[in-house]
Amino acid sequence: MPLFICFALALLAAAGIALWPLWVRRRRARIAARPFPPAWRRLLRRHVPLVARLPARQQLRLKGLMQVFLAEKPVIGCRGLRVTDEVRVTIAALACLPLLGAARGLYPALRQVLVYPGAFVVDRPVSAAGGVLSEQRRVLAGESWSQGQVLLAWDEVKRGAATPGDGRNVVIHEFAHQLDQAGGAANGAPALPTAEAYRRWSAVMQHEFDALQSRLARDEPGLIDAYGATDPAEFFAVVSELFFERPADLAAAHPALYAELRGYYRLDPAGWA
């Protein structure tokens, strides 16, 4: 192939790569600007009461994000579950809540959401004594995989959506993991803008994580669920549930923790209600 043709093809390829993000942004803007279906609006009112707490501007942004999410991310029923508009709208609303404040993409690594009627079983490799690997079977209500999948139990999704004041929401939990996994394996430290932000985040999260473990060792009650003491990744997901579902309680009981989450999500849900 003549050299000038190779050079021209290389320029076209480079131009295509440069224009791709612009094309995606424009396409998403067109989808977000579409009229929100009235049937979806009724489903939100009926099944996701948390949305009613949002300021009008945030509700409008959420609906736009939902439309883009559902246009790009397949929601697939498993084990006989039929995916209805209720399933899709409920999951999309809760999955897009963590995206309201900051422009950090639309879960770029996520390829699909798999929804089961109820709890599902996964087999996990576990290292036993002597380094021997074995399979451990676990029953779960949700799972976030770095390979581009989120798995959800529909009965738990419905329960969490219908009871926004209990601080437990499997969709918010698993999509917090998706944010955490954006740079690799989940470790409780999602992408932050500066080294100073990481230092502050690490100090506050470690202090709160240690305090939770100490509280549990003393068998004392508290706001943060015991599952948050599993590891830093689960701690971030658990406190993210509280941040959106019980923000005023979290701000009162753990002000430094709330401030870090407020800065990360660029939202202040304690002022919504």
CATH architecture of 17-164: Orthogonal Bundle (1.10)
What's the pLDDT at 135?
A: 59
**Which pLDDT value is given to residue 14?**
45
Going from the C-alpha of 23 to that of each of 19, 27, 30, 109, 255, the distances in angstroms are 6, 6, 11, 18, 41
- Residue extents of the structural domains in the chain: 17-164, 187-273
pTM over 0.85: yes
pLDDT for 132 equals: 56
Can you give the pLDDT at residue 76? 97
131 token code pair: 């380094």
Q: What percent of the chain has pLDDT over 90?
A: 75
Report the CATH fold assignment for 187-273.
Answer: Collagenase (Catalytic Domain) (3.40.390)
pLDDT (tens digit, 9 = 90+) per residue, 76-122?
999 999 999 999 999 999 999 999 998 788 999 999 999 999 988 87
pLDDT at 141: 80
Give pLDDT tens digits along the chain (273 positions): 554 454 443 433 444 444 557 878 899 889 999 999 999 999 999 999 999 999 999 999 999 999 999 999 999 999 999 999 999 999 999 999 999 998 788 999 999 999 999 988 877 655 555 665 555 657 778 889 878 899 999 999 999 999 999 999 999 999 999 999 987 889 999 999 999 999 999 999 999 999 999 999 999 999 999 999 999 999 999 999 999 999 999 999 999 999 999 999 999 999 986
Q: Are 222 and 213 in contact (CB under 8 A)?
A: no
Residue 200 CA neighbour count, 13 Å, CB half: 14
pLDDT tens per residue, range 25-37:
899 889 999 999 9
